Amino acid sequence: MSDSIIEEIGKIKLDLTHYPGEDLYCDGEIEDELLAIARDYATVEYQRIIEERKSWEILYHFSPLRENIVEWLPINRTMKVLEIGSGCGAITGAFSRKAGEVTCVELSKKRSLINAYRHMDADNVTIHVGNFQDVEPDLPCDYDYICLIGVFEYAQAYIGSETPYEDFLKIIKKHLKQGGHIAIAIENKFGLKYWAGCREDHLGVYYAGIEDYPEGGVVRTFTRDRLLAMAKCCGFSEAQMYYPYPDYKFMTTLYSDRRLPRRGELSDNNRNFDRDRLQLFDEKRVFDSVIREGQFPLFSNSYLLLLGPSLSEEYVKYSNDRKEEFQIKTLQKSTGFGPVIEKHPLSKRAEKHIEDTVKAYEKLSERYRGSLLAVNEAKLEKTAEGTPYIKIKFLRGKTLEEILDERLEKKDVEGFHKLFDEYLNRISVGEDEEIADYDLILANIIVEQDDNDCYKIDNTWNLIDCEWTFDKVIETREIAFRAIYCYLLADEQRNKLNLDLIMDRLGIGQSEAEQYRRQEMKFQKYVTGKRLSMAELRDAIGKKNYLLADICEGLQDRPAEDRVQIYEDTGNGFVEEQSFFLEEDGEQLVRSGEGMMELSVKIRRGRSALRIDPGSRPCLIYIKQIIWNGEAVSLKGKQLQTNGFKMGEDVYAFPTEDPNITLSLRGLSGEEENRLEAVMEVTVMSMEMIGHLQKRGLFG
């Protein structure tokens, strides 16, 4: 071993023994900005800086979600971790908090300095600066975990051989302790996002991976089968494949072959933070189709390949986009008695939330005791370090959300409403008691299956999550309104439902609906602490999605977001097949200055409701008038419903990319052919305007 050259940054050791004296790669001035942030700001300030500067690079390097890909690994203080390609330290902090000793290898000194400054209080981290091939002979051979996060795809850049990826694995394997693990996070060259029109992550070129990198270069990503074949070739007899979603960079959910995603779960697919993209199809719908056909492992956007003995962890979900006191993770783990569910705090401040959740289970169990809605069994446990966590009974079955989706797919609207009425009856038990679960949504109810995978609707239903339970009376219709509101927002295909009918069932008018929507936005603010979501950050960074349909139809001159669409309810709710876009600057739709929009369309007999979608971006709308067959329609009461927030007399704010206005035709005169006319003033809202209105408390 060469004489060591050590530099210290706080408690971090920088080993410069193999540093060549200059950085062989650099991303330019942005790295100076990253270094200044790491040196001058505390970790708790990173989220504010991310939101203020609206920079992809700052988001990528400093988002706490970057740690999720490794935070779940069962690493403890007796273990040693080797992180190859540690970069600016996006995941080093997770290792330093869990392991006894952490060794990093990074070619760039500037990136190593960024890592050191942001983790300078960690006394168990050493960063070796230099080429891996130079550093590798000095590394010991007793690591419990060796992690390559976004590194393996570059192997041929620094392993000069005919089989660089296999040779890289063989070199790494020498440093692994008996029974240890190698974790490799990498993009899938066949990831669905690439087929859908995202550019290849490393090269920024459309379809580069799918076309097998025709332009060459040093980067290569792989399919699941190719990764497993390479591992087998290198002598690894045990391997587990995990599927980070939406991808390994900002993972919120980790699936495995033992717990694959269910239809409806994969809805967060706009992930182009760094580049504009095409959007060739609806990825959620295609994912649902892929899942139905059993092909998800082929099309997962990313992989986490774990080489070594099988771990008990089957599924992980992170909720660390909330304010600190509510940040938790949910684990599904295998045991000798079958799977169990655990909920763990992600910070000291979140421990009280875990304890309060267990109390909520106990109180709700009392409320629903003896009814057809059971509260799933939950117990408070403690880790070896004394940290509280919840252990929950695992239930096999379908969620009520899945079952209702099946009704819609079969166009069984009557069956849907019958099942929804049953939901209302069951959740209303003990309505006057001062304990209520505000999050009693359809996805939080499990209908158990028997050993033959059959389920009976008449059996007891199970409430599986009581995290947002409050010691107060909450009306059943408010809880049910929120459940159906969340249900509709999660999937555009569900808009075929006639919201009017559900509102009537719940006895909710327009003013109450607006009040409940405000309450929902306040609740979200309570949970997140006003943090911007990843979707809002993407919009703030400003990268666009270009729809193929709009390009093909020659609509470049008119932004796709401005197209006006009319849905007609003929008895099956609002469906795409029963909708049409308005022709502009003609008889149907005329636009004038200052955002004024006048529409005039013919509507045939047999429609019970209409929905006007004035565009596909957040906006303010002043509804000046709506006329049906020459008669003015009242803009008050149940005749008119929106998914926005009332800001003033006939003025609505829509902080959503799917604003819509529903007009009930009940009680209106009907002819064989009818005329709908409307005059509206539409003002597009920027993210800055939304943020300003939120701060003023005018909505959410």
Residue-level pLDDT at 698: 62
| Residues β-bridged to residue 316 | 254, 331
Q: Kindly state whether residues 578 and 451 are assigned to the same domain.
A: no
Q: What is the mean pLDDT of residues 534-550?
A: 84
SS3 47: helix
Residue-level pLDDT at 85: 96
pLDDT in tens, 432-474: 999 999 999 999 999 987 656 566 777 889 999 999 999 999 9
Per the model's pLDDT, the better-predicted residue between 378 and 500 turns out to be 378
The whole domain housing 663 covers: 563-695
Q: Kindly state whether residues 387 and 403 are assigned to the same domain.
A: no
Q: Which of 82, 110, 141 is the last residue of a domain?
A: 141
In the chain, the number of structural domains is 4
CATH number at residue 494: 1.10.510
Least confident of 118-122, 210-214, 534-538, 583-587: 583-587
SS3 287: helix
The dihedral through the CA atoms of 242, 248, 254, 255 has a sign that is negative
pLDDT in tens, 164-173: 999 999 999 9
Contact 150, 163 (CB under 8 A): no
252 inside domain: no
352 inside domain: yes
Using alpha carbons, list the distances in angstroms from residue 243 to 70, 90, 334.
13, 20, 17
Separation CA 269–CA 302 (nearest Å): 13
Residue-level pLDDT at 586: 67
| Residues β-bridged to residue 625 | 679
Closest CA to 65 of 388, 535, 466: 535
Confidence of residue 523 (pLDDT cuts 50, 70, 90): very high
- Show the DSSP H helices in 315-440 as ranges: 351-368, 400-409, 413-427
288 inside domain: no
Residue-level pLDDT at 342: 97
662 inside domain: yes
148 inside domain: no
Least confident of 161-175, 184-198, 496-510, 526-540: 496-510
Least confident of 76-80, 214-218, 556-560: 556-560
Separation CA 254–CA 247 (nearest Å): 9
Q: Kindly state whether residues 515 and 568 are assigned to the same domain.
A: no
CATH number at residue 85: 3.40.50
* Mean pLDDT for the chain overall: 91
Q: Is the pLDDT of residue 553 over 70?
A: no
**Amino acid (1-letter code) at residue 123:** D
219 Cβ contact partners less than 8 Å away, ≥ 6 residues apart = 153, 154, 202, 203, 213
277 inside domain: no
Confidence of residue 561 (pLDDT cuts 50, 70, 90): low
Least confident of 121-135, 344-358, 574-588, 598-612: 574-588
Residue-level pLDDT at 210: 96
Separation CA 634–CA 539 (nearest Å): 36
Using alpha carbons, list the distances in angstroms from residue 202 to 61, 187, 553.
16, 10, 31
pLDDT in tens, 102-157: 999 999 999 999 999 999 999 999 999 999 999 999 999 999 999 999 999 999 98
Q: Kindly state whether residues 35 and 90 are assigned to the same domain.
A: yes
Separation CA 111–CA 118 (nearest Å): 11
Q: Kindly state whether residues 474 and 610 are assigned to the same domain.
A: no
Separation CA 157–CA 168 (nearest Å): 11
- Show the DSSP H helices in 72-217 as ranges: 92-98, 109-118, 132-135, 155-158, 164-173, 192-195
Residue-level pLDDT at 369: 95
Contact 259, 265 (CB under 8 A): no
Least confident of 462-476, 548-562, 625-639: 548-562
> Which residue is listed with tokens 């080489």?
307
Q: Kindly state whether residues 605 and 666 are assigned to the same domain.
A: yes
Residue-level pLDDT at 551: 67
Q: What is the mean pLDDT of residues 408-416?
A: 89
Per the model's pLDDT, the better-predicted residue between 264 and 363 turns out to be 363
Q: Kindly state whether residues 573 and 450 are assigned to the same domain.
A: no
Contact 181, 99 (CB under 8 A): no
Q: What are phi and psi of 232, to 5 degrees?
A: -65, -40
Confidence of residue 644 (pLDDT cuts 50, 70, 90): confident
In this structure, what is the dihedral angle of CA atoms 465, 529, 686, 553, given to the nearest 10 degrees?
-20
Q: Is the pLDDT of residue 492 over 90?
A: no
Q: What are phi and psi of 95, to 5 degrees?
A: -65, -40
Residue-level pLDDT at 459: 84
Q: Kindly state whether residues 355 and 404 are assigned to the same domain.
A: no
Separation CA 407–CA 389 (nearest Å): 37
Contact 383, 343 (CB under 8 A): no
Task: Indicate the pTM of the whole model.
Answer: 0.81
Q: Kindly state whether residues 580 and 687 are assigned to the same domain.
A: yes
Q: Is the pLDDT of residue 557 over 60?
A: no
Q: Which of 393, 417, 451 is the last residue of a domain?
A: 393
Q: Kindly state whether residues 376 and 411 are assigned to the same domain.
A: no
Q: Which of 393, 418, 452 is the last residue of a domain?
A: 393
234 inside domain: no
Residue-level pLDDT at 552: 67
Q: What is the mean pLDDT of residues 345-367?
A: 96
Longest CA–CA span in the chain (Å) reads 93
Q: What is the mean pLDDT of residues 90-99?
A: 97
Q: Kindly state whether residues 13 and 34 are assigned to the same domain.
A: yes
Confidence of residue 585 (pLDDT cuts 50, 70, 90): low
Residue-level pLDDT at 657: 83
Per-range mean pLDDT, top range of 416-430, 526-540, 662-676: 416-430
Rg (CA), the chain: 27
Q: Kindly state whether residues 502 and 613 are assigned to the same domain.
A: no
Q: What are phi and psi of 521, to 5 degrees?
A: -65, -35
Residue-level pLDDT at 555: 46
260: buried, middle or exposed (CB in 10 Å: 19+, 13-18, 0-12)? middle
Residue-level pLDDT at 684: 86
pLDDT in tens, 66-77: 999 999 999 999
Confidence of residue 605 (pLDDT cuts 50, 70, 90): confident
- SS3 string, 604-648, reads ECCCCEEEEECCCCCEEEEEEEEEECCEECCCCHHHEEECCEEEE
> Which residue is listed with tokens 């025709």?
214
Closest CA to 133 of 154, 118, 114, 116: 154
Element (H, E) at 673: strand 673-684
Separation CA 642–CA 660 (nearest Å): 6
Q: What is the mean pLDDT of residues 490-510?
A: 81
Q: Is the pLDDT of residue 696 over 80?
A: no
Confidence of residue 382 (pLDDT cuts 50, 70, 90): very high
373: buried, middle or exposed (CB in 10 Å: 19+, 13-18, 0-12)? buried
DSSP assigned state of 554: T
Confidence of residue 4 (pLDDT cuts 50, 70, 90): confident
- SS3 string, 478-521, reads HHHHHHHHHHHHHCHHHHHCCHHHHHHHHCCCHHHHHHHHHHHH
Q: Is the pLDDT of residue 690 over 80?
A: no
Residue-level pLDDT at 556: 46
520 inside domain: yes
Tokens representing 544?
A: 């666009």
Tokens representing 144?
A: 């419990």
